[in-house]
Amino acid sequence: MVNVQPFLLTICLVLQLQNILYSWDGTLKVADFGLARCSVPGQRLRGYVGTLSFMAPEILRGRGYSGPPIDVWASGIILHSLFTKRYPFRKRELRKIMSPFDGLPQYHPPAWLSKPCTSLLSSMVCEDAMKRISLQEIMNHTWFEHFPGTPWRNRSQCEHIDGCC
């Protein structure tokens, strides 16, 4: 995520699990920018983009949305899926969101996940986009303290990345 972090500020990537590639050297890469959209800070985007399982509530409800919060939502769904081998919501539950009378089922991470992981996931898969954790807050989250080699936590590893540290 560090390599694309500067772009997340201006591009809505429409992330999904199938578009995350893991290389032999341990690098994660994002592929398939076919539905990516430019998003100027403060600008509201419209329209349905992405795969239903990864769509943020604001997209499903047809409201305007901004790029970074929907990418944070999708990243939370991806992390949940990687940790648990299943999506957090069933498709029929996601379809309820489109109704103005139904809300999103409450997100509950599995009890066996660590508290820092549960905290991170819950703040990423937050129904209210205004309360959802930001990209900067994700990078500073306590869950990453368990990974001392995280590039943005080690200045010597990320000096070549603009705005990383």
Neighbouring-strand partners of residue 106: none
Q: Is residue 163 part of a domain?
A: no
**Domain range for residue 21?**
2-153
Q: Residue 43: what residue type?
A: Q
CB–CB of 51/45 below 8 Å?
no
pTM (predicted TM-score): 0.75
Question: Tokens 């957090």 belong to which residue?
Answer: 88
How many domains are contained in the chain?
1
- The first and second tokens of residue 146, run together, are 């368990």
Would 158 be classed as within a structural domain?
A: no
pLDDT in tens, 35-60: 666 666 777 777 777 777 888 888 87
Looking up residue 134, the CATH number of its domain turns out to be 1.10.510.10
Q: Tell me: the pLDDT tens digits for 86-129? A: 888 877 776 666 665 566 667 889 999 999 999 999 999 998 88
Whether 16 is covered by a domain: the verdict is: yes
In-domain check, residue 136 = yes
Higher pLDDT, 125 or 14: 125
Residue 56 belongs to some domain of the structure: yes
DSSP string, the chain: -GGGHHHHTTEE----GGGEEE-TTS-EEE---TT-EE--TTPPB-S--S-GGG--HHHHTT--B-HHHHHHHHHHHHHHHHHHSS-SS-HHHHHHTTSTT--PPPP---TTS-HHHHHHHHHHS-SSTTTSPPHHHHHT-GGGGG-TT-GGGSHHHHTTSTT--
